[in-house]
Structure 1
Amino acid sequence: MRRFSLSIATGALFVTGLALAQQRQQVDPNDDMGAAAQGERRPGGAQPPRAASAPQPSARQGAAAPAARAEATRAFLGLGVAPDAEAAKRGAPVFAQNCAACHGPDARGGIGPNLLYSSQLLDDDHGEKLVPFLKAGRPEKGMPPFAQLGDAALTDITEFLHLQVENYANRGTYQNVNNLLVGDAKAGAAYFAKTCTACHSATGDLKGVGARFRPLDLQRYMIFPERDGHPSRMIQATVVGRDGTVEGEVTKIDDFDIVLRDKAGVVHAWRQSDVKVTLKDPLEWHKNFAYRLKDKDMTDLVTYLSTVK
């Protein structure tokens, strides 16, 4: 059933997005602080090596599999069965001709109510409840009966309506279709040569980048490069404490604690107040780049990088 609260769904989406954003800022999604918080520290703050976690899906994989992303979000929010896309496509013109004048082209309301909050719609799966309702209408409230359209067309309308709810509630269905390639590729090449070639090369590490990534992802990665699958991009730390100095890859850090994994794979955890911490983030330049980059330069740069194939 599709019975759910859109306000709860919206809140859940926000929490999910926040959790994912925090995860992206961490190098390792494993929560080593659970043991540390319970005092299960070994001498020197060391912890036994942990088993490797299952590979985490990258942003590229997410961009390449919108259907899987939408299905995962639907399951998480309990949105019910997926709408029938083909039936919804057939139902769109029928809805436009018979219903849009009152309820708006996307069913979000006009002189009539917003249908995305309708209990008749949210209690329905594939027309078993909504079709009889549409046949009878609500003449006392100005809604005529639509029995003359026939069961098939009314079922298609219900699928169109369910698709509108899906598009509204399921963040996983979102696709940015804006055209980002509106800059000057020649100006972008000049900007790249001036700003980026100290670390990158269009014939080296970025060879074929325009064929591997969508323009939207090129824009995202130049500001927020992925760490997953790139060991050289992981945040490193040097921690000096009573038991000596430990260097390694940061797996968790907050205002109170720091956890890192050394080269031998041993996990160490400390209270920040007990040690001196020096961090080194290989992506620090890119984080600062986001504040320096002007809109025109970004557009030109994305347009240029899209030609590197």
Structure 2
Amino acid sequence: MNIKLRDFSIGFLCCSLNIVAQEDTQPEIQIVNPNAMFLQQQRALPPAAVIERGETLYQVNCRLCHGLDLRGGDQGGSNLLRSEVVLIDIAGESIGEVITEGQGSMPTFDNFSNEDLAAIAGYIHSIKFESEGQGSTPPVNYDLDILVGDAAAGERYFNRECSSCHSVTGDLSGIATRIPDDYIMQNTWVAGGRRQAGRGGVQTTITVTTEGGKTITGRLLRYDDFFVSLRTEDGAYQSFSRRGDSPRVELDDPLYRHRELWAELSDGNIHDVTAYLETIK
């Protein structure tokens, strides 16, 4: 019995040490302004370039639901300034989980890299860092003039980067008339117009070919190194385990080039192209 008790004690100690070790590896908030009243104003922020990228991603993907000031937007998104998820987030781990997995009526966004998620989280934390604290009066409404770019430079950029897929006399004909709100037009072209397809936007199509040669095509639901799932045109759900290159998977992502551009676009590019598209009546 003593031997069993000793073995149990050793096992319990090892388990306890393992738990402590795991707790020690959890990220911690770096405090740089301990005299500030609120925790969000005490924390260290990521570099300015990361916050700027996060702002771009937020404005394109999150603003319509969560608002310009994070207090909730036209599509009924939650107030991020009061969000418990934001409060407990340290470096994007909690915010990123909600973005990629969805929550409540919020759809999933599986197209972001870990760096993208950290950038969005960094931007959200930067807004809370600069805020006056919970309960403060919302800022006075004001209109933002975003037509500050060079239309001629925007035309050159469009012809170089966009004209292989889009045409101002074709799919973009009269875009400034069809989308009179400059901010919405800017968000629409940067995002690839995906919101025009309704909730969930433009969908990625996936074709799975099994080892037996059977081909299944449908709307992509999930795709990683171990698992792939889709929904066929008749609404049937299909899922497959992956081992290496089996089953064979082919993706047709209409927004692939737009996703590449997100990493390349500067604020100047965005403003220039928006100014150019504003001339397409």
Higher RCO by CA contacts (8 Å cutoff, separation 6 or greater): 1
Instruction: Please classify the TM superposition score into its range, dividing by the shorter chain length.
Output: 0.3 to 0.5
Using the size of structure 1 for normalisation, the TM-score is 0.44
